[in-house]
Amino acid sequence: MATYEDFQKLDIRVGKIIEVEDFPEARKPSFKLKIDLGPEIGIKKSCAQLPQNYKKEQLLGKQVLCVVNFPPRQIGPAVSEVLTLGLPDENHECILIAPDQEVPLGGKLY
């Protein structure tokens, strides 16, 4: 069983998607994202399987939650620096987790 101390090891922050690009080299339909995580962390890259539920225009400016303290991960020719969090819909496609109100960028989940 996980402990509260285990949870505290994850650094989950809110960021805003500032750039969305197609990622045709990915095995599954995906986008390359640039996410502004505030002044402490800065802008980070993420790869996410989102085209099934989101158009690029819907993602620009959207606040999302990201794990920022995992090591970077190579995904095809791209590097994903943060894990953008989501939940599966009824078709097992990603729905992003986001605050229901605008919050300051870089805020840590607790």
Taking the CB of residue 43, how many other CB atoms lie within 10 A of it? 14
- CA–CA dist 26, 77 (Å, integer): 8
Residues in a beta bridge with 47? 32
Does residue 23 form part of some domain?
A: yes
Tell me the residue range of the domain where 70 lies.
11-96
Q: What is the pLDDT of residue 39?
A: 97
Q: What is the pLDDT of residues 25-82, one digit of tens each?
A: 999 999 999 999 999 999 999 999 999 999 999 999 999 999 999 999 999 999 999 9
**Tokens standing for residue 11:** 């650094």
The answer to whether position 110 is within a domain reads no
Tens digit of each residue's pLDDT (9 = 90 or more) over 84-99: 999 999 999 999 999 9
- Report the pLDDT value the prediction gives residue 41, as an integer from 0 to 100: 97
pTM for this one?
0.95
Domain membership of residue 5 (yes or no) is no
pLDDT at 54: 98
Position 46 scores a pLDDT of 98
Q: What is the CATH number of the domain that holds 18?
A: 2.40.50.140
Residue 49 inside a domain? The answer is: yes
Q: Angle at the Cα of 29 (from 103 to 64), degrees rounded to 5?
A: 5
How many domains does one find in the chain? 1
How large is the average pLDDT for residues 1-19?
96
